[in-house]
Amino acid sequence: MHKLADAVMGLTVLCACFQAGPAVAGSPEEVKTLAQTIRSVDQQGQGHAAATKAIQQLTTLDAEALPALLDEIDLANSLAANWLLGAFESIAERTLRDGGKLPTAELERFVLDRSKDAKTRRLAYEWLLKVDPSAEQRLIPGMLDDPSADMRRDAVRLLIDEAKDTGDAQAARELYSRALTGVVHDDQVKTIVAALEEHGQQVDVQKHFGFLPDWQLVGPFENGDGKGFDVAYPPEHKLDLQAKYEVQTGTLGWVPLSTEHNYGIVDIAKDFGPHKGAVVYAVSEFQSPQARPVQVRLGTPNAWKMWLNGELLFAREEYHRAMSLDQYRVDAELKQGHNVLLLKVCQNEQEQDWAQRYQFQLRVCDQAGSAVHVASQQASVRDGRRKEPTTSGSSD
């Protein structure tokens, strides 16, 4: 067995099973030292023996060690975090089984600290909830704008439940409207939109999610036998929206295309051309009021590459996957002012009915999935005239 697999198995077993003997007190300094030893295990399993001893010691500590352990989980890489998580849960489970108490005040402080990692905060919240069910009503209503998508989901759920239970139509509408300001999960969005429409209020779903609706497209460039994925066609060398290119179908330039689809789907096959064995480039230009980190979330059944302001962000050469909302999540940095996003979308030559989808949807949001609204500078597909800047969810 691979050394890393041995390390994972050994530490996991220790976290789950090392329960013998009474719990002992552990200072934050001791927890930090032991956690650093666990984090030192490398991908080849080096440091496994020392980490095993550290896990043994961690799992014998009492519940007072849990706040410091949360801090260490928050700082750890994904591999070490899993091992430290096992130690946390072993201590917490043993404490409750033996009739002890968890440090609820410290757990609550950690939950409320938005600078901490969302997954670690959720861990603290779920253990807090086990011993203090009142924490939900005390904490969750204030998390409608939380950076944790899970916390937001709970806050939205409470508002939806309240709206369903009220017998006052105006109150229900206000509750649904308030829930809409924080909702990031598609199933909850659908519930809220349907309810608001019943109350006579329309919702711009495209704008809510932050989809980019306005694009310039050019192609089709050659992708026979999938070779075009690795070929850097002219738009990758120099982006010139006034340029003409020799493509499969002749000499063509960039064509403006906008989508009114609620979920921002740009249907290349339907609205641009049902090209096979082809590469199409799509460009969206937009203004950001400030420099900031974002996630660019893409859905497509096609192979693709993505650049932001000339920097390659990510690429995936895979065809005919199921397309879904937020299928790919790519971290990026917007500049203040003008930004240019270039997408290369590749279709292969298969003729089966299930292989005909040539489309994408793309939105800009924060880590929780809340839309980052930017001002589009693309031309309108309807008349080719320059559009005034609009929010990213708007379309003609």
Q: What is the pLDDT of residues 30-75, one digit of tens each?
A: 888 888 888 887 655 566 788 888 888 899 999 999 999 999 999 8
Q: What is the pLDDT of residue 385?
A: 33
- Which CATH number does 209-391 carry? 2.60.120.260
Q: Is the Cβ–Cβ distance between 276 and 348 less than 8 Å?
A: yes
Report how far Cα 71 is from the mean position of its chain's Cα atoms.
23
Q: What is the pLDDT of residue 6?
A: 43
Report how far Cα 245 is from the mean position of its chain's Cα atoms.
36
Residue 370 has pLDDT above 70, yes or no: yes
Per the model's pLDDT, the better-predicted residue between 385 and 343 turns out to be 343
- In the block, which residue shows the tokens 């793309």? 362
Q: Is the Cβ–Cβ distance between 357 and 265 less than 8 Å?
A: no
From residue 218, alpha-carbon distances to 171, 230, 239, 250, 296 in Å are 49, 17, 11, 12, 21
Residue 344 has pLDDT above 80, yes or no: yes
- Determine the Cα–Cα distance for residues 257 and 272; give it in Å rounded to an integer: 8
The residue ranges of every structural domain in the chain are: 3-132, 146-203, 209-391
Residue 21 has pLDDT above 60, yes or no: no
- Determine the Cα–Cα distance for residues 314 and 278; give it in Å rounded to an integer: 20
What's the predicted TM-score (pTM) here?
A: 0.85
